[in-house]
Chains A and B, each alone.
Chain A
């Protein structure tokens, strides 16, 4: 079965620091997708990025960047120059396909607190 491990339960940084959230996954699928979601204190889940297993290029979107390394089964997320508004729980997720259906397996999340 698929598994996603986010070993960092909580991280606390001071504004403007860079911070990396780790995500390690296990899968037997040859083709799979990885995702990151943000859950701010208001509670909604916000989609951040989708990456398929054939695309190992790193991605940058403003202050956010993602490092996908198939060799270590990791899909880490870095926030550069963190801001208070980045405070949230961040979830990494992995696709699971069974008999044509599509499901997501979520990690337990990393709670990021950015202090002013």
Chain B
């Protein structure tokens, strides 16, 4: 049971390039999330998904796109990278209950992205 895995661990992009951050979970969680963490700023939600085929914007979605074709995978796409997207990106997953019991999120190890 690997939990939540993310690839790559590190990446340097040039301004204007695009890339996809991969996230996979093997816990059969229906909820998945993407956060970015900037120094001293905590975590901010970029996008989330409550199940395959369903995604929604979080607090800071501009410059990003997501898709959720399977329960396990939730890739994050950066189009036209900008220096403001330099950050550490975390993927997370959690169990979602129809009765709205809010369960803890399990996080991947993170991807450190630098845009220069």
Contacts and interface: CB of A to CB of B under 8 A. Distances in A.
A108 B110 CA distance: 18
B42 A107 contact: yes
Interface size classification for chain B: 20 to 34
Contacts of B40: 9, 108-109
B13 interface: no
B42 A91 contact: yes
A43 interface: yes
A44 B103 contact: no
Chain B interface main SS type: strand
Interface in B97-111: 100-107, 109-110
B61 interface: no
A102 B100 contact: yes
A35 interface: yes
Interface in A1-48: 9, 31-33, 35, 37, 43-45, 47
Given A108-B42, A109-B40, 20 more contacts: A31-B100, A32-B102, A37-B107, A45-B107, A47-B106, A50-B103, A52-B102, A91-B42, A97-B100, A100-B50, A100-B100, A102-B31, A102-B94, A103-B45, A103-B58, A104-B45, A106-B42, A106-B43, A107-B42, A109-B42
Interface of A: 9, 31-33, 35, 37, 43-45, 47, 50, 52, 91, 95, 97, 100-104, 106-109
Interface of B: 31, 33, 40-45, 48, 50, 56, 58, 88, 90, 92, 94, 96, 100-107, 109-110
6 closest A-B pairs by CB? A45-B107, A33-B102, A95-B102, A108-B42, A106-B42, A106-B43
29 contacts: A9-B40, A31-B100, A32-B102, A35-B104, A37-B107, A43-B88, A44-B107, A45-B90, A47-B104, A47-B105, A47-B106, A50-B102, A50-B104, A52-B101, A95-B102, A97-B102, A100-B100, A102-B31, A102-B50, A102-B96, A103-B45, A104-B33, A106-B42, A106-B43, A106-B44, A107-B42, A108-B40, A108-B41, A109-B40
